[in-house]
Structure 1
Amino acid sequence: MPPRRQRPREAPALVAFGRQMRRLREAKDVKQETIAHLTKVSGPQVSRIENGKKRATRSFVVAVDEHLDAGGSLISLWEDLNKDGHPVPIWFDWPQVEADAAMLICWQHSVIPGLAQTPAYALALLRGNQEAADARIGRQAILTEGKDSSPPTVVLLLNEHVLHNPVGTPETMREQLEHLLEMSLLPNVTIQVVLSSGEHEGVLGAFVVATMEDRSEVAYIETAIRGITTDNPSDLSSLARTLVELRSQALTHAMSRELIRKVIKERWT
C-alpha cells in the first residue's frame, strides 16, 4: 500500500466528483446527451468529466446541479474538491474527530456501522484483512471510555435491510445482532431501525455527523471512491434535513430492540 503522506493526486478527486455526478444523473434518468445540450459542451466532454479525466468548470456544475435538483450538493462537492483552484478535498483526521466528539449520529443503509461491528463481522466485511479489522474494533473504545472518560452520545440509525444483509456466516450475523442488543443497553447509545423505504435521501449514501464540545459539526460521508470529511455548512444542512426525515421513519429504541430480536430468531437462528 502506498504511503499516505502526500495529498491525493488530481485523478482520485476528479473521479470522486465524476462518480457522484453520474450517480445523481442516473438517479434522475437523465442522459449524458441532455447534460451536453444543457451545458453546451460535447458529449465526449461530459463523459470525460464523469470518468474523472477532465475538471468541470463551476458554471457547468451549477447548471448540472440545478437540472438534477441536487439541492447544491454537487456544487458543494465541487467547491470542496477545488479549494484554491486545485481539485483537493478538505481533509480532516476523522478518527481524531470521532474520538473527540460529544455526539455521533450515524446512518447506515447497507452494513452495520464500524462502531458497532463484532470482530468476526468486521473481518468478513474487510475480506480477511486482520490489521484493518483490529483497527476498526479498536475505535470502539470511545463508546465506553471517550475523551476525558466521558463517552459520547451515540445514535445509530440502521436501515432495516442491514439486519437481513448477510455478512460472513449465519453465526456471524447472529452474533452481530446479539451484540447490537448488548450495545443498546449502554446509557449513551441509542439504536433505531429505519423501516426499509426508497423514498428518502438516505438511500444516496451512509454518513456520520459528529458534534463537538463547542457545538461545531463535522461530517464523514461515504462514497464509492473514498470517504469525504467536511464541515461545509451547506453539506451539514443537507445532512440535517436527511436525519430529520430518517428519524421520522425510524422505530423507537425499544421497538428497534424487539425487531432485532425477531430477526435473530426468524432469520439467523
Structure 2
Amino acid sequence: MASTGRSGQPRIGWGFFGTELKRCREAAGLTQQELGRRVFCSGGYIGQFETGIRKPQLDVALRIDAELRTGGFFERMWRELINKSPYADSFSETAYLETLAATIMEYAPTYVPGVLQTAAYARAVFLGGLPLAPEDEIQARVAARLARARILDDPAKPSFWSVLDEGVIRRKIGGAAVMHEQLKHVIALIRKRRIGVQVMPFGAGAPVVDGSLTLMTFEDAPPVAYSEGYRTGSLLDDPATVAWCERAYDLARSVALSPEASVDLIESVAEEYADECSK
C-alpha cells in the first residue's frame, strides 16, 4: 500500500522518481552537480528531486532522459504522476509543496484561502466560476480542496499565517449561512492556535499585492513563492524574486489589523451573518 501524505496524495510516486534518478545518475558516474550542469539546473535541485522535496519541470525530465540515456523513462513517469494530480497544472506542484512546508504564509485578496475553506464555501466558489459545470465535476473539485486542509491535521506543522483583505470576510459568497459557517470555522482554528490571521481593513488603502500570494519555507530546501491571478499561477523560486515577495508580504502584515483586532472583526461580521439568517 502506498504511503499517504497530509494532503491525501500518494507520496511514493515522486519518492520513486527520486530513487530511480539517483540510481541512474550514480550508474552513469555523475555527481549531482555534474548532472545539474548538464540539464541546466543546480546540483542542489538534483538533490531535492532525488529526495522528493521538489518535482522537476517537464523540460528538466526530458533533459535528464537525454543525459542519462533512459529512453524517455523519466518523461513517462513525470507525465503519469502529474496526470494523477486533481489540481490544475499551474497549481499541482504548489499543492504538493504544501504537504512538505514548514511554514505557509498567504495573502488572500478575494477568497478565504483554500486550506481554510468549508465544503459549502468551496462549492459556492466553484459554482461562481463554473456555473454550468456538471455536478460530479463540482463535487470532485470540492473534495480536492478539502483534501488540502489535511495539512492542518498536524497540530504544529506547518505554521500557517494568512492576511485576508476585509473584502474576503464581507463578500457574501454562497449566502449568509455559508459565510457564517466559514467565518466560525476560521475563528475556531485561530482559537485552537492552529493558524494566525490578520485582516487588512478597507482603510489601509491600496492593496500591497494585486493577486493572491503564498510563501512557503522548508526545513531542508530554499523558500518558494506562488502567485495566482485569473486562470494563471506561477511557482517562483528565483531567490531575488522570492525575497521581493517576502518584502511585499511583510508590508501587507504591517498595515493589517493586529491578530486580536482581526479576530474581533471576523467575529463581528460572523454575527452579522447570523443575524441575517435569523430574520
CA offset at residue 234 of structure 1? 2.7
Match of 2:251 among 212, 237, 245: 245
Residues 133 and 91 of structure 1, relative CA distance in 2, 3 Å threshold: closer
What does 1:195-206 align with in structure 2 at a 5 Å threshold?
Answer: 195-196=201-202, 197-202=204-209, 204-206=210-212
Distance 2:208 2:157 in 1: 29
Q: Provide TM-score, normalisation by structure 2.
A: 0.60
Match of 2:222 among 202, 207, 216: 216
Distance 1:167 1:161 in 2: 11
Distance 2:159 2:141 in 1: 25
CA offset at residue 188 of structure 1? 3.5
Q: Which deviates more, 90-99 or 215-224?
A: 90-99
Q: Is the 8 A contact 1:152 1:188 kept in 2?
A: no
Q: Is the 8 A contact 2:90 2:232 kept in 1?
A: no
CA offset at residue 266 of structure 1? 2.8
Distance 2:117 2:90 in 1: 28
What does 1:22-61 align with in structure 2 at a 5 Å threshold?
Answer: none
Distance 2:112 2:201 in 1: 15
Distance 1:107 1:91 in 2: 16
CA offset at residue 93 of structure 1? 1.4
Q: Is the 8 A contact 2:169 2:183 kept in 1?
A: yes
Residues 170 and 212 of structure 1, relative CA distance in 2, 3 Å threshold: same
RMSD, matched Cα: 2.4
2:140 is aligned with 1:131: yes
Match of 1:169 among 156, 160, 175: 175
Q: Is the 8 A contact 2:197 2:262 kept in 1?
A: yes
What does 1:1-269 align with in structure 2 at a 5 Å threshold?
Answer: 93-127=93-127, 129-145=138-154, 150-196=156-202, 197-202=204-209, 204-214=210-220, 216-269=222-275
Distance 2:259 2:221 in 1: 25
SS at match of 2:191: coil
Identity %: 28
Runs of at least 5 residues in structure 2 that lack an aligned partner in the other structure: 1-56, 61-88, 128-134
Distance 1:173 1:187 in 2: 21
Identify the residue that residue 5 of structure 1 maps to in structure 2. Answer: none
CA offset at residue 227 of structure 1? 1.3
Identify the residue that residue 32 of structure 1 maps to in structure 2. Answer: none
Counterpart amino acid of residue 176 in structure 1:
Q
Identify the residue that residue 39 of structure 2 maps to in structure 1. Answer: none
Runs of at least 5 residues in structure 1 that lack an aligned partner in the other structure: 1-79, 84-88
Runs ≥4 residues deviating over 6 A: 89-92
Report how many residues are paired. Answer: 180
Distance 1:179 1:250 in 2: 21
Distance 1:213 1:174 in 2: 36
Q: Is the 8 A contact 1:164 1:267 kept in 2?
A: no
Distance 1:91 1:176 in 2: 23
